[in-house]
Structure 1
Amino acid sequence: MEALMVSLNAVIPFVFYLAVGYGAKRLKMCSYDLLQGMNKLVFKAFFPLSLFWNMYTMDPSIEIDIPLLLAEGASLIALIILLMLTVPWFVKENPRRGVVVQAIYRSNCVLFALPMAEVVMGEPGKIYATMMLAVIVPILNVSAVLVLESFHGEGLTDPKKLIINILTNPLIDGIAVGALFFALGIHLPRFIETPVKNMGSMATPLALFILGGTLEFSQVGKNLKCLTVAMGIKLLVIPLVVTVITTLAGLSDVVRFTFFIIYATPVATSSYVMAQNMGGDGELAGQFVVFSTVASALTLFIWVYAYAALGFV
């Protein structure tokens, strides 16, 4: 029940932000052009500040488990490569290919995985999840740029242009600068830290508000099959495969659950913002965020209950 409450506490605010955005647009409190302008602002300013803050404020006292981090990073990269190779067989339009790939592997780890790991596995779960996020967040964001750029337009992007786009991507820059400040021990003055933290914390609520305002439920029908299959793979199949592999590998309960929760959480909100700004199918990306967020309240509860029944927690 406690795990269910954590899931609901994480999910319901997301749904609330979406509902407020949807209501504001229907009541003509904001125009489509205004929402599109805000979307670019979130992508180029608020999300980079959020990612900078996550890297900048990492706990330096955590004892890093290098083999664990390498294994988690390698597993994520392997999944991305597998999806890059297989999704184009089933999805024919390039703007949709990148969105589907991103939706299946890219999770909202910070808002879901960390609190779930702490509640279910206690302090050890929190420590392992924090360590993994230090590796996972950069991989998720760098790979998202790579995936969307690779399927941008009608063909593969020129490698030189792809590298330039990756290096100049606002999200990548936010991570890089935050990691640099953390590594060099650079500390911002308090009067700068406070606005950076506050503006970064606005990224997810504002992105969800914008998503709610631009969401068109009349278009869900044409994407229903894609949504159902992709979310079934993300929220059910991949967590099952991860659970089986980590169990066969003899990993501890804490490590097994931490691996699992990294993959079992809903689609990252920033995936919608990135798709909108990088030539992907923004409508489909937004629907992935909405449906995975709502569905995860049920799937996470079922998974945690199953883990408890098997004696894994």
Structure 2
Amino acid sequence: MQHVFFSSLSFSISVMLPILLMLALGLFFRKSLLIDDKFCEKATNLVFKITLPTLLFLNIFKNPIENIAKQWTSVAVCLVGTLTLFILAQLFAVKFIPEKREWGTFVQGVYRSNNGILGLALCLNAYGSIAFMPAAIYTSVSVLLYNLLGVITLTYSLSDGKINLYQMVKNVLKNPLIIGIILGIITSVLDLELPKLVLTTANYLANITLPLALICTGASIDLRNLVKTSHVSLLASIGRVVIAPIFMVFLGKAFGLSKVDLGIVFLMTATPLAAATYAMVRAMGGNEVTVANIIGLTTFGSMFGSAIGIITLRTVGWI
């Protein structure tokens, strides 16, 4: 049992530690005056409008959309679970978080995990090539849903008065992340082929997304707030690291998922808040310090949460 624990902990650290180091580099660069807030603002804008949409497009483009039907149970768990967490987090925010402008950040902190990068890496490391297709499908569906809900909750929380439904729909349709996903779906459905030159250039852009987003996120982390932590950051982090994985595992069990599929759902949900959330929150005018602190807290917490979860689920024979 002790060997299983340390093996699982080592595995989690090997995936999460590089993320923590990138956040630390961002903080160091900011303290050393190598980068400043103006740089972070422009770099985040680049990530949000160009490199991240390109990454999302490529993720869907490389995974044929027709394979979704073969994984309908896992897709159903993703849709039902994410929507339920979104609704519950929104209700909680309205009742217990007095600052309305923090609602959207809190809600995303609870339901939105880092599936596109860390979740996929965890699944492949845990199960090998057998997990690639179901994990890729789960990622494609969840990323689309995460971004749709993200635009909705941020538009709602950052509005000054009554919600303009037309404005909300407009924000969704013009969101660069949504556009990237839709273009990926179209090219996948039509089975279009892109020139090698275009794909190579797109891969160059996509590859700078995570490091650039993490450096800017790290530069925005307020260590005093991270140590003391605001109630919004702490509550969202508990929801992301503890409540969301437990809820999704029991939901997956209720849907009768196989051990591998249930393991994929857990590993996807046990990841920290996606770094892409920082780019979205900042670009739409939210509190970037709060979201940066949530990313820092959940990245650290998920190292231990994923290890404990793996040990527990293996012990009871669920994965």
Pick one of 27, 35, 38 that aligns with 2:40.
Answer: 35
Residues 1:30 and 1:230: Cα distance change in structure 2 (over 3 Å): closer
TM-superposed CA distance for 1:181, in Å, is: 1.2
Query: What secondary structure does 2:122 align onto?
Result: helix
Instruction: Give 2:234's aligned residue.
Output: 228
Instruction: Give 1:57's aligned residue.
Output: 62
Residues 1:247 and 1:149: Cα distance change in structure 2 (over 3 Å): same
Instruction: Give 2:126's aligned residue.
Output: 120
The separation in 1 between residues aligned to 2:289 and 2:129, in whole angstroms, is: 39
Asked if the contact 1:223/1:284 (under 8 Å) is kept, the reply is no
Pick one of 217, 222, 230 that aligns with 1:216.
Answer: 222
TM-superposed CA distance for 1:249, in Å, is: 4.4
TM-superposed CA distance for 1:131, in Å, is: 2.1
Alignment of 1:93-104 (within 5 A): 93-104=99-110
AA aligned opposite 1:102: Q
The separation in 2 between residues aligned to 1:238 and 1:34, in whole angstroms, is: 34
Instruction: Give 2:245's aligned residue.
Output: 239
User: Quick check: 1:129 aligned with 2:126?
Assistant: no
TM-score scaled to structure 2, two decimals?
0.91
Pick one of 310, 313, 316 that aligns with 1:307.
Answer: 313
Measured on the aligned residues, the alpha-carbon RMSD in Å equals 2.0
Identity of aligned residues (%): 24
User: Quick check: 1:19 aligned with 2:24?
Assistant: yes
AA aligned opposite 2:207: S
Residue deviations 1:251-288, cap 9 Å, x none?
32122222222322110001111111112211101111
TM-superposed CA distance for 1:95, in Å, is: 1.7
Asked if the contact 1:6/1:115 (under 8 Å) is kept, the reply is no
**Structure 1 unaligned runs (5+)?**
none
AA aligned opposite 2:179: D
Residue deviations 1:209-233, cap 9 Å, x none?
1112222213336643332222222
The separation in 2 between residues aligned to 1:23 and 1:248, in whole angstroms, is: 46
The separation in 1 between residues aligned to 2:19 and 2:199, in whole angstroms, is: 26
Runs of at least 4 residues off by over 6 Å: none
**Structure 2 unaligned runs (5+)?**
1-5
Residues 1:221 and 1:16: Cα distance change in structure 2 (over 3 Å): closer
The separation in 1 between residues aligned to 2:105 and 2:124, in whole angstroms, is: 30
The separation in 2 between residues aligned to 1:226 and 1:92, in whole angstroms, is: 10
AA aligned opposite 1:268: A
TM-superposed CA distance for 1:138, in Å, is: 0.6
